[in-house]
Amino acid sequence: MKHAAAQSRRVKLWKKSAALISLLISTLLLQGCWDEINLQDVSYISALGIDFKDGKYEIYGQTIKFGLIAKTESLQPDPNPVWIGRGTGDSILLALNNLTRSGQSILSVDHLKTVVIQARALEKIDDIMDGLNRQRASRYTSLIYGTKDTIEKIFTTDTFYDQSPLNSIMYMPQPLEGQRSFIRPSSLQVAVQTLKEPAMVTTFAALTANDYHWTRKKLPLQIQMIEGVFVFKELKYLGYLSEEEASGLRWINPEFNHFILKAEGEHGSAAVAISSSKSSIQTSFKGNSPNFVLKVKMSGAVAELLKNMNEDEIVASIEAKVKQQLESTYRKGLTKGMDLFRLEHNLYRYHHAFWKKECKSKEWLPKPEQINIVVKFNVTHSGNFGLDEDGT
């Protein structure tokens, strides 16, 4: 009897010991705050600039007060509350590591919002994308731009009403795109996808700092603008087009929102607010040669009427102007070896056998006569002007 009781006590003691050991082991597996970092010990890089000079990469990091990252609408007593660091190296990561040497705190790209690449570095786009993607904290939602200006100039532009630098086109292009569509900046995710896609043409929005339009206390303000596009075919850099040269791209932009275009007639003119532009491409073959039809359907309202124009004149004028812009952009691109309407990619996706035989591994470009552009415009509203057949 005594032996059985002693045996029972030993079993209970063993179970308690096993439970205690299991508890101790489980606590070792719990995540704690051993790697906690205080916010005041971290400098968050919100924008990364990349240049290539004298055989080395130059990395520029723009940092903003952490409070401004959390509250982008707050007013600031300092009109330009940013800090810019510069590092150099034989690769992107080595240049970024060089930048950390002079940092008084930990440099983090966990809040990276924008990447700006100087034009002379765009020839190195393959290495740049590889370096960015190998950075553990890189965010695929970051926007990517090109620029012909210096990185320092872009990173030190002004903002309206002493707002946070985050309220600028470099960080927030959506408000501008909503009232004046041209080319929406790509995210890093879209850039990676399209630059690796066979026969695909990729465009980066070209950012500049302009001091012509705005002043404050009679002093010019340096305000960011999108002035054109940088063009790639896959990972090969093809060149730059100004907004005027590439104006036709806005009408085939799938994210088109709004643009005001002047209509001109024999006896007057009108300002037309175009609110929708949808495009499609149809392909047919004549012998061994593809032919394309680019159809653009648009709609908009009359915003302003100067003298008399009837609806037919407005429609005809808008259709003619848009068609002329599309044809001009298409031909301008061909002179620089650019298939801006992505006609080869259309063959790759929908006529793969032909593309594989006639285009793959060749510097294929469509000919000017291989495309027919059809533009249709619909007036949705004439405002208070009461347009009729006589334009009165």
**Does 21 fall in a domain?**
no
**Does 4 fall in a domain?**
no
DSSP string, 351-370: -HHHHHHHTTTS-----GGG
183 and 133 in one domain?
A: yes
127 and 101 in one domain?
A: yes
271 and 141 in one domain?
A: no
206 and 293 in one domain?
A: no
Question: How far apart, in whole angstroms, are the C-alpha atoms of residue 57 and residue 36?
Answer: 32
Among 100-114, 170-184, 239-253, name the most confident range: 239-253
**Does 7 fall in a domain?**
no
138 with 112: CB under 8 angstroms?
yes
* E strands in the chain: 42-53, 56-64, 82-89, 106-108, 114-118, 143-147, 186-187, 201-210, 215-216, 219-220, 223-233, 236-242, 259-264, 268-286, 289-307, 371-381
Question: How far apart, in whole angstroms, are the C-alpha atoms of residue 326 and residue 102?
Answer: 50
In one letter, which amino acid is 83?
Answer: W
194 and 100 in one domain?
A: yes
Which structure tokens are listed for 115?
């990447």
Q: Identify which has the larger pLDDT, 386 or 187.
A: 187
Q: pLDDT tens, 115-158?
A: 999 999 999 999 999 888 877 656 788 999 999 999 999 998 98
Residue where a domain terminates, one of 191, 214, 243: 243
CATH code of 303's domain:
3.30.300.210
Q: pLDDT tens, 211-261?
A: 888 888 888 888 999 999 999 999 999 999 999 999 999 999 999 999 999
Question: How far apart, in whole angstroms, are the C-alpha atoms of residue 388 and residue 375?
Answer: 22
Q: Identify which has the larger pLDDT, 99 or 60.
A: 60
Mean pLDDT, residues 25-36: 58
CA dihedral 39, 117, 226, 180 (to 10 degrees): -70
Which structure tokens are listed for 134?
């190998």
Question: How far apart, in whole angstroms, are the C-alpha atoms of residue 214 and residue 182?
Answer: 21
How many domains in the chain? Answer: 2
pLDDT at residue number 317: 95
Burial grade of 295 (CB within 10 A; 0-12, 13-18, 19 or more): middle
250 and 226 in one domain?
A: no
pTM: 0.85
337 and 300 in one domain?
A: yes
350 pLDDT tier (thresholds 50, 70, 90): very high
Residue where a domain terminates, one of 243, 277, 296: 243
Asked if pLDDT for residue 73 goes beyond 60, the answer is no
In one letter, which amino acid is 304?
Answer: E
253 and 232 in one domain?
A: no
Asked if pLDDT for residue 388 goes beyond 70, the answer is no
SS3 41: helix
pLDDT at residue number 379: 92
Q: Which of 373, 147, 360, 125 is nearest to 248 (CA)?
A: 373
227 and 263 in one domain?
A: no
Residue where a domain terminates, one of 187, 219, 243: 243
360 with 278: CB under 8 angstroms?
no
**Does 96 fall in a domain?**
yes
Q: pLDDT tens, 287-319?
A: 889 999 999 999 999 988 887 888 899 999 999
Mean pLDDT of the chain: 85
Question: How far apart, in whole angstroms, are the C-alpha atoms of residue 292 and residue 19?
Answer: 75
142 and 252 in one domain?
A: no
Structural domain of residue 335, as residue ranges? 246-392
pLDDT at residue number 111: 82
How do 186-187 and 143-147 pair as beta strands? antiparallel
357 and 214 in one domain?
A: no
**Does 390 fall in a domain?**
yes
Question: How far apart, in whole angstroms, are the C-alpha atoms of residue 13 and residue 2?
Answer: 17
131 and 56 in one domain?
A: yes
Mean pLDDT, residues 261-272: 90
**Does 110 fall in a domain?**
yes
